[in-house]
């Protein structure tokens, strides 16, 4: 009640020195009294009403106590969850000694611990910076605009030596940092951004030494982003500080481990200890002996060394048909496989330039003849009048000049007629047309002088093998040929081949000629042509009538014998040559 209770010098007893009704109730929790609620109420209420005030306030305080108890329990649960996340992060981030795997762990587990939208780890490698890991992304394109701008931002901030916390205001930033931040934010639309350089700390160094080596000890940077909500989560700074410290330590340990001399070799040796335990030693020795035996066999056992190449069977007697003049092919009276005789017309050509030249020449001939007749008539008139003056001499001179011009024009006409005969293109030999779909290939198309139109071959004559050997394999052939000719100048390389239509029968021959220049052969690249001669009886035993049954250009698989070598070299020489040309040569 107002002005009730003890007063004066008694300070430890309750009293109400005010003019109001004082209603007081404690807020109780499991820890005891956490607080008091005091209400100053106006006076004049009946005692029953006053007791109602007290009951109401007591109920309110009970609810407040329950709320405080629930909030404390929730705080404990949140704190326990945070400790579990922190323990999980520290365990995972220090588990591996591989910088790439560590960076992926920092990005993904760090995002969970911090509670942000994205975490990116940028590592310093020499003088450059590389985006090593982005949370939630197993792979990403390092050439994309966003990744490139983020890498540039991390480099600029790391070199500045200061942390960057960006919430939309870049007014107080250094110019180079401001440009990099604005460029990245314009591309990524990030609401809040933090770029924190990671450094390798030396606990034994004093502050002056650490300041001196700040730039040299840079490991990279961790980038923290809020993409949707620009508000700062509760406890963000503390969580970021934990992630940063553990990330620096883990990355420093990983990079120190990776910089060890011959580190992959020591790792393999360390993992191989299990092979020399008492239980596994007999198996290990047996495996080593087996591997050694196989290696010795590959190195010591000789085997026939052959170089494989593709080829085709062609008649020895062949002739190529070329265009004699520039022009248009107007008619091709033959088809693939048609027999022809030497001199038969296999294509007809029209030359517009030749037609124009002939037309012009005919006009000049007609004009010259007309002028010559006129001059001859004038001379006849002068002869009858027995006039021998200057005019007569002029007529005689003009007649002689026109006769010379006429002789020249007729000679030119004869030459053009000879050219016109060349428009009928004839077969150079007896045989048959071996060019596939020759009519569709050249009819109605313009051609140039000297352009090959088709090929004629005589399959009734002897056949030969054309081999197109890739230039990279020619070294073995030349080396073997030189070795043979050192003992016998007339020695020849042996060749074994099979027809695609008769793969079960082998034929043999010798290399008669190796062309001195390489030529491009489809997908094989540069190839060298080799002509191989063989006994025709072998072919006739396989194909009784080659002229009828054997296709010109039949596919052949050939092996060129290059002596003997170790079986390991025979099997794996292409691998060794690849290593020599593509790896060792570039070192």
153 in a structural domain: yes
308 in a structural domain: no
What is the rounded distance in angstroms from the CA atom of residue 526 to the CA atom of residue 577? 17
> Is the pLDDT reported for residue 357 higher than 90?
no
Q: Which of 453, 483, 506 is the last residue of a domain?
A: 453
The pairs formed by 67-74 with CB atoms below 8 angstroms and a separation of 24 or more are 68/27, 68/29, 68/34, 69/29, 69/30, 72/29
172 in a structural domain: yes
Residue spans of beta strands (DSSP E) within 384-460: 424-426, 431-433, 446-447, 452-457
Residue 121: both structure tokens together: 């780890």
Closest-CA residue to 119 (of 108, 105, 132): 108
Across the chain, which distance is largest between two alpha carbons, in Å?
181
Q: What is the domain range of residue 470?
A: 459-586
The DSSP letter of residue 278 is T
349 in a structural domain: yes
Whole-number Cα distances in Å, 393 to 368, 382, 389? 20, 10, 7
Residue 467: both structure tokens together: 């081999």
CB 310 within 8 A of CB 447: no
Residue 123: both structure tokens together: 């590592």
Handedness of CA 63, 65, 66, 70 (dihedral sign): positive
CB 63 within 8 A of CB 50: no
At 63 the pLDDT is: 92
Closest-CA residue to 39 (of 51, 21, 65): 21
**Distant-in-sequence, close-in-space partners of 497: CB < 8 Å, separation ≥ 6:** 311, 465, 506, 507, 508, 509, 532, 556, 557, 558, 559
Same domain, 111 and 240: yes
Cβ density class 518-545: b for 16+ within 10 Å, e for less:
beebeeeeebbbbbbbbeeeebeebbee
At 263 the pLDDT is: 67
**Distant-in-sequence, close-in-space partners of 476: CB < 8 Å, separation ≥ 6:** 305, 307, 562
Same domain, 496 and 577: yes
At 587 the pLDDT is: 59
Q: What is the pLDDT of residues 368-421, one digit of tens each?
A: 888 888 888 877 777 666 656 667 777 778 888 888 888 888 888 888 888 888
At 209 the pLDDT is: 57
Q: Which of 453, 473, 503 is the last residue of a domain?
A: 453
251 in a structural domain: yes
Same domain, 241 and 114: yes
CB 107 within 8 A of CB 135: yes
At 187 the pLDDT is: 92
CB 536 within 8 A of CB 465: no
Task: Please tell me the total count of domains within the chain.
Answer: 4
Q: What is the pLDDT of residues 519-566, one digit of tens each?
A: 888 777 889 999 999 999 998 888 888 888 888 888 999 999 999 999
557 in a structural domain: yes
What is the rounded distance in angstroms from the CA atom of residue 75 to the CA atom of residue 69? 10
173 in a structural domain: yes
Distance of CA 204 to the CA centre of its chain: 47
Question: Can you name the residues that pair with 378 across neighbouring β-strands?
Answer: none
Identify the three-state secondary structure at position 184.
Answer: helix
Same domain, 444 and 391: yes
Same domain, 539 and 520: yes
CATH, residue 405: 1.10.287
Interval 117-143 mean pLDDT: 91
Q: Helices marked H in 94-172 — which ranges? A: 99-114, 145-160
Q: What is the pLDDT of residues 329-353, one digit of tens each?
A: 999 999 988 999 999 999 999 988 8
Closest-CA residue to 314 (of 555, 552, 10): 552
At 341 the pLDDT is: 93
* Helices 99-114/47-93 angle, 10° precision: 170
Same domain, 560 and 540: yes
Tokens 């030529």 — which residue? 519
Same domain, 8 and 140: no
Q: What is the pLDDT of residues 3-21, one digit of tens each?
A: 676 554 555 566 777 778 8
Distance of CA 409 to the CA centre of its chain: 66
**Distant-in-sequence, close-in-space partners of 6: CB < 8 Å, separation ≥ 6:** 13, 14, 15
CATH, residue 469: 2.40.30.170
Same domain, 533 and 507: yes
H, E, C per residue of 25-77 = EEEEECCEEEEEEEEEECCCCCHHHHHHHHHHHHHHHHHHHHHHHHHHHHHHH
270 in a structural domain: no
Same domain, 235 and 111: yes
Same domain, 327 and 442: yes
Q: Which of 396, 431, 453 is the last residue of a domain?
A: 453
At 216 the pLDDT is: 66
> Is the pLDDT reported for residue 224 higher than 60?
yes
Same domain, 72 and 187: no
Same domain, 118 and 169: yes
CB 457 within 8 A of CB 338: no
């Amino acid at each position: 009640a107002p002005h009730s209770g003890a007063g004066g010098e008694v300070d430890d007893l309750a009293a109400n020195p005010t003019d109001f009704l004082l209603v007081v109730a404690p807020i109780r929790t499991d820890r005891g009294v956490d607080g008091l609620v005091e209400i100053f109420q106006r006076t004049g209420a009946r005692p029953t009403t006053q007791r109602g005030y007290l009951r109401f306030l007591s109920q309110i305080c009970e609810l407040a106590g329950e709320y405080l108890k629930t909030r404390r329990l929730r705080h404990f649960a949140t704190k326990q969850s945070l400790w579990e996340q922190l323990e999980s992060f520290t365990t995972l981030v220090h588990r591996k000694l591989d910088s790439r795997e560590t960076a992926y762990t920092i990005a993904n587990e760090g995002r969970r611990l911090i509670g942000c939208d994205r975490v990116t780890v940028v590592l310093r490698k020499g003088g450059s910076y590389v985006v090593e890991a982005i949370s939630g992304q197993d792979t990403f394109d390092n050439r994309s605009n966003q990744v490139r701008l983020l890498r540039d931002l991390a480099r600029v901030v790391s070199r500045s030596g200061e942390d960057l916390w960006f919430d939309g205001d870049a007014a107080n930033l250094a110019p180079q940092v401001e440009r990099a931040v604005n460029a990245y934010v314009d591309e990524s639309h990030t609401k809040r951004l933090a770029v924190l350089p990671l450094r390798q700390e030396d606990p034994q160094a004093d502050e002056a030494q650490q300041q001196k080596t700040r730039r040299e000890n840079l490991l990279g940077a961790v980038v923290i982003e809020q993409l949707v909500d620009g508000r700062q989560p509760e406890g963000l700074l503390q969580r970021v500080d934990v992630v940063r410290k553990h990330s620096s330590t883990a990355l420093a340990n990983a990079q120190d481990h990776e910089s060890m001399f011959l580190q992959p070799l020591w790792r393999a040796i360390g993992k191989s200890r299990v092979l020399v335990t008492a239980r596994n030693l007999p198996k290990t020795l047996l495996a080593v002996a087996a591997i050694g035996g196989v290696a010795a066999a590959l190195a010591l056992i000789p085997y026939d060394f052959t170089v494989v190449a593709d080829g085709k069977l062609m008649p020895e007697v062949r002739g190529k048909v070329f265009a004699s003049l520039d022009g248009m092919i107007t008619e091709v009276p033959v088809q693939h496989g048609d027999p022809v005789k030497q001199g038969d017309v296999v294509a007809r050509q029209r030359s517009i330039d030749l037609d124009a030249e002939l037309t012009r020449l005919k006009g000049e001939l007609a004009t010259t003849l007309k002028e010559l007749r006129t001059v001859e008539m004038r001379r006849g008139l002068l002869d009858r009048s027995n006039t021998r003056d200057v005019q007569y001499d002029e007529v005689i001179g003009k007649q002689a000049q026109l006769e010379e011009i006429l002789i020249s024009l007729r000679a030119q006409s004869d030459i053009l007629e000879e050219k016109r005969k060349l428009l009928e293109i004839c077969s150079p030999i007896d045989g048959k047309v071996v060019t596939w779909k020759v009519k569709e290939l050249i009819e109605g198309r313009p051609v140039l002088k000297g352009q090959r139109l088709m090929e004629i071959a005589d399959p009734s004559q002897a056949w030969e093998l054309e081999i197109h050997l890739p230039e990279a394999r020619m070294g073995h052939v030349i080396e073997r040929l030189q070795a043979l000719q050192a003992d016998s100048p007339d020695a020849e390389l042996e060749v074994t081949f099979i027809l695609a239509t008769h793969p079960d029968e082998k034929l043999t021959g010798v290399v008669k000629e190796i062309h001195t220049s390489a030529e491009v052969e489809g997908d094989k690249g540069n190839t060298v042509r080799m002509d191989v001669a063989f006994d025709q009886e072998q072919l006739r035993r396989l194909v009784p009538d080659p002229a009828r049954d054997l296709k010109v250009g039949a596919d052949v698989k050939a092996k060129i014998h290059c002596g003997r070598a170790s079986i390991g070299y025979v099997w794996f020489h292409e691998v060794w040559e690849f290593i020599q040309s593509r790896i060792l040569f570039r070192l």
